Amino acid sequence: MAEAAGIHRATFYNHFDSLEEAAVYVIADDFRALRTLDLSDRQLGADPTTVALATLNAMLDSLRQRRSLFLLASTWQSPSGLPGIGDLLVDQVRSLRRDFGGGERESDAHDSIEDVYTASGVNGVFSAAVGGSLDVEPEEIAVHLYAVLPDWIRRPPESLTT
């Protein structure tokens, strides 16, 4: 990987502890860009459901295009103990909670558990979808995934879109 990037192996390991961690970083960069677009679209008044489904589809498409990176990232054991991109998805859920007004009150144990549960479920669906073990049409995956997300993600406050 270092050679392909045109850097010395030691330089690579100054930034990452493993190839798996680097794969997670690449996926995280994609997800951050998609989240920024999602929030921008919502703030411009786009329908939250339409935006969320487009974002979930784009996330899944990104993972399919980077299948080998996703499979490599899936073997990474994060510092929190979550596998693969689990920490990244927990961070995404917590950011959504802050962006959707959850930061106005103190986060509690319920929120933390719900965030990990949500992120783990999303990771499981992404893993099954990228691995090809879901017997569902690709365009239906985001619809089904969206339907099981917590209510506060599916129905953000009106103030976000005004």
Structure tokens belonging to residue 157: 């406050």
93 pLDDT higher than 70: yes
| pLDDT of the residue at 104 | 55
Top pLDDT among 49 and 84 is at 49
* Token pair belonging to 133: 């073990």
Task: Of 28, 63, 67, 44, give the one whose Cα is nearest residue 142.
Answer: 63
CA-CA distance, 10 to 152, in Å (whole number)? 44
Q: What is the pTM of this model?
A: 0.80
* pLDDT tens track for 19-41: 888 888 899 999 989 988 888 89
Q: Which has the higher per-residue pLDDT, 130 or 8?
A: 130
Cα–Cα distance measured from residue 116 to residue 82, given in angstroms and rounded to the nearest whole number: 9
Q: Return the C-alpha torsion angle 45, 47, 53, 57, nearest 10.
A: -40
- Its sign, for the CA torsion 130, 131, 136, 138, is positive
Average pLDDT over residues 124-152: 87
Question: How far is 162 from 155, CA to CA, in rounded Å?
Answer: 14
pLDDT at 105 over 60: no
Q: What is the DSSP letter of 155?
A: S
Mean pLDDT of the chain: 83
Spatial distance between the Cα atoms of 54 and 29, rounded to a whole number of angstroms: 18
Contact 12, 2 (CB under 8 A): yes
* Dihedral (CA of 60, 140, 46, 157) sign: negative
Between residues 139 and 28, which one has the greater pLDDT? 28
Q: What pLDDT score does 157 carry?
A: 66
- Compute the distance between CA of residue 96 and CA of residue 119 in angstroms, rounded to an integer: 12
Strand, coil or helix: what is 83? strand
The Cα–Cα gap between 87 and 81 comes to 9
Q: What pLDDT does 139 receive? A: 78
